[in-house]
Structure 1
Amino acid sequence: MSRTICFFTGTRAEYGLLRPLMKAVASTPGAVLNTFVTGTHLAESSGATWREIAADGLPIDERVEVLLDSGTDESICTSIGLGVMRYGEALKRLAPDMLVILGRPL
């Protein structure tokens, strides 16, 4: 039985840290890699770094647009709200067995 492991990535910096683990999952028998791409990866103004993920040969299963370009406090709050709604919808579609999100302990 295969297990679907979904990686959430929103920035080039954290993708660089996740990439080795993502490639390991992709090459593991019985594991299915999903990627959930959002944030600055999708922004042309930030270099559209989703292309790096594709160039690495990794799938992009969900692209969730949440950024608003203005950078005001209000637009940041709106982006957070959009993320909460859209991330839930995307995860429902993907239905992974596991979700990997890079973070750090407080």
Structure 2
Amino acid sequence: MSRDDYEEVSRKVLNLFEFGQHIASQHGLILVDTKYEFGKAPDGTILLIDEVHTPYSSRNWTASLYECIRKGLEPENVNKEFLRMWFKEHCNPYEDKVLPDDPKGLVTEL
């Protein structure tokens, strides 16, 4: 990636994130973080590819519960983060060879 390509992608990322935060705030959410994927067309044009601001690529919190952070609590997540958190509380998913079965309702919620 050239310096010019990096600067172009950086501008696009910041604009996309600002736009995502604006849209999320209109719906009572906070766009906490996300990932973007870019590619390059044969003519050299930099393209945004894959999904944008979905629950699979982003973490959103409900704005009304953001106060939980100030109290050291985890705010309500509107994505798959709660499933990761459940496993983190019940095992070490990075070291345990066998993971516990998740409660049936948890997967249904996801």
**Greater relative contact order (Cα < 8 A, sep 6+):** 1
When normalised by structure 2's length, the TM-score is 0.24
When normalised by structure 1's length, the TM-score is 0.25
